[in-house]
A and B are shown apart, each in its own frame.
Chain A
Amino acid sequence: MDQLYGYSLYGLSLLTFGGIYAMLALGLNIQLGFTGLFNAGIAGFFVVGAYVSAILSTAPSERHIGGFDWPIPFSLVAAMVVSALIGWAVARICMRLRADYLAIATLGIAEILRLIFKNETDLTNGARGVSYIPKPYESLAQPWNHVMMTVVVLAIVAVLYFMLERARKSPWGRVMAAIRENEDSARAAGKNVDRLRVQAFVVGSAMMGLGGGMMAHHLKFIDPNAADPTTATFLVFVMLIVGGSGNNKGAIVGALLMWTIWSATEIFTSMLPGDLAIRSAYIRVFLIGLMLQIMLQKFPQGLFPEKRLETGSSG
Chain B
Amino acid sequence: MIDFINFHLIPGLVLGSIYALGAIGVTLTFGILRFANFAHGEIMTLGAYLTLTMMWLTGWHPLILLPVTMVILSLIVIGMDQAFFKPFRNSPAVTVVIASFGLMLMIRSVTQFSWGAQLQAFVPGIQRPNVFFDALRISPKHILIVISAMVLMLVVHWVLAHTRIGKAMRAMSDSPELARLTGINTELVIKATWILGACMAAAAGVFLAYDSHVSTMMGFQILLPTFAAAIVGGIGRPYGAMAGGLLIGVTEELSSYAWLGDGPLLEPGYKAGVSFAIMIGVLIWRPSGLFRGRVF
Residues of A within 8 A of B (CB): 32, 36, 38, 93-94, 96-101, 103-105, 107-109, 111-112, 115, 118-119, 230, 234, 237-238, 241, 279, 282-286, 288-290, 292-293, 296-297, 300
Contact = CB atoms under 8 A, between A and B. Distances in A.
Contact of A292 (B92, B98, B277, B295): B98
Nearest to B275: A108
Interface stretch (B108-116, B193-201, B203-211): B108-116
Contacts of A293: 84, 99, 102-103, 106
B74 to A, nearest CB: 21
B138 interface: no
Interface of B: 30, 35-36, 84, 87-88, 91-95, 97-99, 101-106, 108-110, 112-113, 116, 224, 227-228, 231, 267, 269-270, 272-273, 275-277, 279-280, 283-284, 287, 295-296
A104 B95 contact: no
B227 A104 contact: yes
A34 to B, nearest CB: 13
A183 to B, nearest CB: 13
Main SS at interface, chain B: helix
A103 B88 contact: no
Contacts of B272: 111, 115
A283 B287 contact: no
Nearest to A233: B101
Contacts of A115: 269-270, 272-273
Given A115-B272, A283-B113, A241 B98 contact: yes
22 contacts: A36-B94, A98-B296, A99-B92, A101-B36, A101-B287, A101-B296, A103-B97, A108-B280, A111-B273, A111-B276, A112-B277, A119-B269, A237-B98, A237-B101, A241-B98, A282-B109, A283-B109, A284-B109, A289-B102, A289-B103, A296-B88, A296-B95
B283 A101 contact: yes
Contacts of B267: 119
A7 B230 CA distance: 50
A100 B103 CA distance: 16
Given A99-B97, A111-B273, 4 more contacts: A101-B296, A108-B277, A286-B110, A286-B113
Contacts of A111: 224, 272-273, 276
